[in-house]
Each structure stands twice: as structure tokens, then as C-alpha cells.
Amino acid sequence: MQASTTNLEQRPLRVGTVAHFLNNTLLPYFDLKKNRSIKTQIYGGFSYVVHQNVTRGHFDFGFIAWTEKPKAVRSIKIKKDPLAVVGLKTKFPALRKAKNMKDLEALPIIWLPKLHRDPNIYFPLNKKSYVVQSYDNFKHLILNGYGIGEVQLDFFSKAEQRMLAHAPFPAPRDGVHIYLIYREDAPPFIQEKIETIAADMKAKFN
């Protein structure tokens, strides 16, 4: 079912976005003088929830962090999402010398899995670990030295990133990209806005 058609062109745009893209890109974009007249209703959270709501027509479009071209929707690739295995420098200085994840097996690990994943699969035997589904919890654990984790670096401010040691090898999920997604039957005026926003975003990152 498509989003409500009552005064469709007058109501705010309904936009979903993965949380870190909201903080670092989408809010600054809509704060630009040329975009301040655009009325929006924004959801920030997990990519899975955004994808589901765009697919069902509850959101006009959305931004998700995805490992492959999204299915069941049209999509525009915006940029690569930088990932790394990180930990607090003062607590895990050896992280920078690791050659692979096997070298880090003895360290406590922090997971932020997708909502539909069973959290129990992230609890290995005889290993201290944390599984959270809150961005705030995840950042708190990483920045306070509770463990290491594979992170989307845009979760963290530049100052916070300077507190972190990075493993020198590619993250296990390296290859995640930010996609703008929308339904094939999106109204023409929505598609026009999507094309403008996508062009602005791609110009910023390319």
C-alpha cells in the first residue's frame, strides 16, 4: 500500500534512514538554505526497518546500508560505507598489529546485529561478548573499552574516531554501500525529488 494520498503533494516527505547517515549526512543536507523549505518526517534506525517500510509504501524513500543491490525496490548507490574493526586505543593497542580476525580471538567482542537475527548466534563459547541493538549502547561499549567490534565508522565523530585503534585488514563485511531506495510506483513528484537528492548526494561523495 502506497503512503497516504491525502493532499499527497502538500504533506511532508516521509523518509527513512539508517541512523548514522541521518546524523552525518541527511540532517546537514536538509539544513542547507536551499532545502529548508522541504517538509520532512524522518525515521532514523536500522536499515532492515527502513527497507521494510519503503517496500510497504509507508515511507516515500529511504537510505540503507546494504551489502548488495537491494531487492524488491528501485535503488541508487550513493557511496561506500566505511567499515573497520576497532577498539579503544588505550585498551587495545595491539589491535593495530593484528593480521586477521583470528589474531583477535582472545579479545572481548561487541556486536550490533540486524534486528531479524537471532542474538544467540553471537555468543561464542567461553568468550566475553556483548550483543546490543541500540546505537547508543554500541558506541558506549566501544568508547569505554569494553571490547572490539566491526563498526561503520560514520557512527563516530572525528574526535571519537581519534580515540580508536583500527585493525590494518579489511573488515569482514567490507563492501557495504549506502543506497537510496524507493518503490517503482512512487508518484512522479516524489521521483523528481529523489533524483534531485540523489544527484546532490552523489556530487558530495564522488
Which mean pLDDT values do the consecutive 10-residue runs of the chain (206 residues) have? 56 93 92 92 94 97 96 96 95 94 93 84 83 92 96 91 95 91 95 95 88
Which one, of 73, 74, 38, lies nearest residue 55 by Cα?
Answer: 73
- The reported pLDDT for the residue numbered 8 is 62
- For the chain, how many helices (H) and strands (E)? 6, 10
C-alpha cell at 49: 526497518
Rg (CA), the chain: 19
Measured CA to CA, the distance from residue 40 to residue 190 in angstroms comes to 12
pTM of the predicted structure, to 2 decimals: 0.86
- The reported pLDDT for the residue numbered 82 is 92
Measured CA to CA, the distance from residue 18 to residue 9 in angstroms comes to 25
Burial of 101 (0-12, 13-18, 19+ CB in 10 A): middle
Using the 8-state DSSP alphabet, how is residue 69 labeled? P
- The reported pLDDT for the residue numbered 113 is 87
Which one, of 81, 21, 5, 38, lies nearest residue 192 by Cα?
Answer: 38
Distances from the Cα of 191 to the Cα of 26, 39, 41, 107, angstroms: 18, 16, 17, 47
Could you read off the pLDDT of 72-108 as tens digits, one per residue? 999 999 999 999 999 999 999 989 999 999 999 999 9
